[in-house]
Structure 1
């Protein structure tokens, strides 16, 4: 049916089209609409930008600078190689031989008192296995993997450290199990370091049994714990167990002397036995105590009296007076001392 000419005139539009360029001298549409409604056009007022005035010269206003906080001694002197780990030769030597002989197991259990090197040794083992020159018991220290896993490094995406104290539930274990089968991003192995392993729930351990027993070739597990008896037997039987020990006083004293020399702080010889006693064989605890004393050093020197007072020990001179009073049968002298 043909269109009626009268109907087409209904759609005819006079003037420019909707998308045509405006004619020269034409008024804007907004002005036309305002005039039609007899409303004034309000001009757009731009808000002024207020600039903060700079502090005048000689003003008392000062910029407070925060000094860079030094790392704690136990972090600054964390070992990067097995050769730097002290007092654990019964562990470091077999691990080095296993790496040399290409006999590294798929899962390890490091147990022992706190602050004796369990987590540190786990990181060193990961460093040895993923070194570009390795696997080697002596990491090169210059490749990307060694730098990432070294002291002060950012860590490696292929070395996953898990705090079981906060991630020990069965859901966490299932999430770990699912991620195991993905290949490492840039390293030779994907290594899981599970710290505080005794905090993993029984259900969590059961969820890991199969993958710990038969992990992919690119995966290694290292469990670290202070309470190995709380790790279920089916997990312990799937790992090589290495028990760490408290460090002997003589070894620890020599190590602390070396640290004092590095820090260029004079410490009286009678101070270090107090530090070793307070540390109770733990390297980390001993370094924390020494760090406290060095922080309070008087003109770069730590005296016996200062250390005894700060650590809460009875000075030897006072003990000598008490013993002498007992030997002389002087009861009043004992209490007077």
Structure 2
């Protein structure tokens, strides 16, 4: 028995007429009659009661029709699910991100992806960069978003991972609002030489930490690290508490907190890179759809920044 036999039987049962059923199926009536007869022979029961003028269902036919409906409905559902999965419209995506990603492209990316793929389950975890990398390699995350110093970190194709820059944004200085530097419109890095710094721990993201240190060294000093914090929100809170100053990505200026102000750096070219990383061998259609949305959001973000530039 094949699925087509079920469809043939359902067509005849609904039409109560072989000729009309054959027309609906776009097949010859004699062939349809042969197929139904073969089905009855295989089952060993009579499904249809035939007269010269009508066709009706036997008791066996009534029972078989109910089951045939369920089987065909499940088959149709299986086909639909398979097609949706192949297009990345259903499934699961596990996303890791550092705290600062929540202040730039990630919220818009998640919003758009949920609109375009409402049936995809998104599992989102805020994690430090080192934990993200390990969970990505172990297969517990599908894609990660983290801060990286693209100049000091070597290419990684040999690791089986793919990295792509999503956003490049300038650094700003976070200072207590009572600080003398808070009155400036821009702050040169050299003006921070004697200031205590609140920074992200190097052990959790060497690239991001080293980038800030390198920028300071290029301005002629090594930053005095007074306090470390693993979340950008905590760094800003510690600055507001007077623990020191910090260099943070410009998007963090959205985090308005009493006691802290943000000022642009006087130096041009001091930028922070937000990168995405995923496994090179991950052929998931859901991931592919997510990457397309990510690139569209990133392009729009770049276009918006260009329009804002003087």
TM-score normalised by the chain length of structure 2? 0.24
Q: With CA pairs under 8 Å and 6+ residues apart, which has the higher RCO, 1 or 2?
A: 2
TM-score normalised by the chain length of structure 1? 0.23
Q: Over alpha carbons, which structure has the higher Rg?
A: 1
By percentage of residues, which structure has more strand?
2
